[in-house]
Amino acid sequence: MRKMLLAALSRLLQGSAAHKPAARVVVAARNYADFANEASFDIKKYDLHRLEEGPPTTAIMTREQGLQYYRTMQTIRRMELKADQLYKQKIIRGFCHLYDGQEACCVGLEAAINKTDHLITAYRGHAFTYTRGVSVREILAELTGRKGGCAKGKGGSMHMYAKNFYGGNGIVGAQVPLGAGIALACKYFGKDEICLTLYGDGAANQGQIFETFNMAALWKLPCVFICENNRYGMGTSVERAAASTDYYKRGDFIPGIRVDGMDVLAVREATKFAADHCRSGKGPVVMELQTYRYHGHSMSDPGISYRTREEIQEVRSKSDPITLLKDRMVNNNLANVEELKEIDVEVRKHIEDAAQFATTDPEPSLEELGNFIYSNEPPFEVRGANQWIRYKSAG
């Protein structure tokens, strides 16, 4: 009898073990089959200036779009954190302004325009360089001053460029007139293209910006002027720097929209609306994106002498753009936590591989110092550090 019981128990255990892999297969098979293809989301109401109607307050996001936005935002976040690490190791030198916390702005903007459209920004430009098509590897290599950088190691943090992306500009506010000039070229050549011209709240009080608004309105230029209001111009809060902090109204005679810049869908829908306005020949739009940077103004700024650690932590816990997107996707069955964690792992590896390249690629030689001064010009001599040293240019 005892032998019979033992045999029965053995068969039962074997049967149970045989069924376990099958159970795991069923669970794994569910991962992608049962997700929703799309979901609808409410958006915080926009503040409008000189507009009877604004962007929609609901938005459709597909599963594919959500995963793309999440991966792009995580890549930017990890890239900037890696830049922070390399700067502290003194591998990156000079000026370095990081974008972590503001990822919903650049990703939402890019999702709403065409690759043939144009974009120009200030010196906090790493993320826009990436969304405009430059690889992480080329961006980090530019930051470390290597030959494989997107500007051959000569531009550094503030001077990166790509197709239809004009930097990366180091002079506060100076990119705004340039952006209007790009929009003028779009109109002059009859192209169905627009220019997104970005600046910060710290630059918003500059006279050249108001001069540009005036010309853009007179000529009805297809330009979206975008103030990324991260609440601090260097170490000065907007309340201490501006008599009016309604930056979306600063165009006066130009229509304006104020947007939750921590919500990638709000930014996307507002930008679509503004882009359609410009393409239809109605002239420019001023858009204010209310956002927040986690780092200081630059790597030389600890970022806590004019604001508290508690303030930064509160924004992280309540308004982080990546967390907001993640929660929306999980709560609406567009993805699950495990799938998003897999993306996180892939992104980290991608960033580490790029950093390895950026720290081992050689620096450009002195012989290349005179290259790329002009485009499509015949070679000419460039004087070196003294009159006896000559370098040959190449275009």
Here the tokens at position 328 are 């929306």
How far is the first Cα of the chain from the last one, in angstroms, to the nearest whole number?
93
Q: What is the pLDDT of residue 10?
A: 52
> What's the predicted TM-score (pTM) here?
0.90
Cβ(58)–Cβ(278) under 8 Å? Answer: no
Mean pLDDT score across all residues of the chain: 92
Question: For 204-235, how does the pLDDT look when each residue is reduced to its tens digit (9 = 90+)?
Answer: 999 999 999 999 999 999 999 999 999 999 99
DSSP reduced 3-state for 61: strand
| CA-based nearest residue to 298, from 70, 115, 106, 126 | 126
Torsion over CA: 115, 208, 212, 48 (sign): positive
pLDDT-above-90 percentage for the chain: 83
Instruction: Report residue 2's pLDDT band, with 50, 70 and 90 as the boundaries.
Output: very low
Instruction: Report residue 29's pLDDT band, with 50, 70 and 90 as the boundaries.
Output: very low
Q: What is the pLDDT of residue 12?
A: 45
Q: Which residues pair with 58 in a beta bridge?
A: 42
Burial classification of residue 109, based on how many CB atoms lie within 10 Å of its CB (0-12 exposed, 13-18 middle, 19 or more buried):
buried
Question: For 194-206, how does the pLDDT look when each residue is reduced to its tens digit (9 = 90+)?
Answer: 999 999 999 999 9
Instruction: Report residue 363's pLDDT band, with 50, 70 and 90 as the boundaries.
Output: very high
> What is the average per-residue pLDDT within 165-184?
97
Question: For 316-336, how does the pLDDT look when each residue is reduced to its tens digit (9 = 90+)?
Answer: 999 999 999 999 999 999 999
- Among the residue ranges 22-31, 73-82, 262-271, the one predicted with the least confidence is 22-31
Check whether 289 has a pLDDT greater than 70. Answer: yes
| CA-based nearest residue to 247, from 196, 213, 274 | 213
> What is the average per-residue pLDDT within 353-365?
97
Instruction: Report residue 48's pLDDT band, with 50, 70 and 90 as the boundaries.
Output: very high
Packing angle of the helix pair 103-112, 63-88 (nearest 10 deg): 140
> What is the average per-residue pLDDT within 153-170?
95
Question: For 259-278, how does the pLDDT look when each residue is reduced to its tens digit (9 = 90+)?
Answer: 999 999 999 999 999 999 99
Cβ(118)–Cβ(194) under 8 Å? Answer: yes
Q: Which residues pair with 300 in a beta bridge?
A: none
Q: What is the pLDDT of residue 386?
A: 84
Based on its alpha-carbon atoms, the radius of gyration of the chain, rounded to whole angstroms, reads 25
Q: Which residue has the higher pLDDT, 386 or 155?
A: 155
Q: What is the pLDDT of residue 11?
A: 54
pLDDT-above-70 percentage for the chain: 91
DSSP reduced 3-state for 316: helix
Q: Which residue has the higher pLDDT, 82 or 374?
A: 82
> What is the average per-residue pLDDT within 110-123?
98
Output the CA–CA distances (angstroms, integers) from residue 317 to 21, 52, 263, 371, in the order listed.
39, 35, 14, 47
Can you list the positions of beta strands (E) in 241-342? 256-260, 285-290
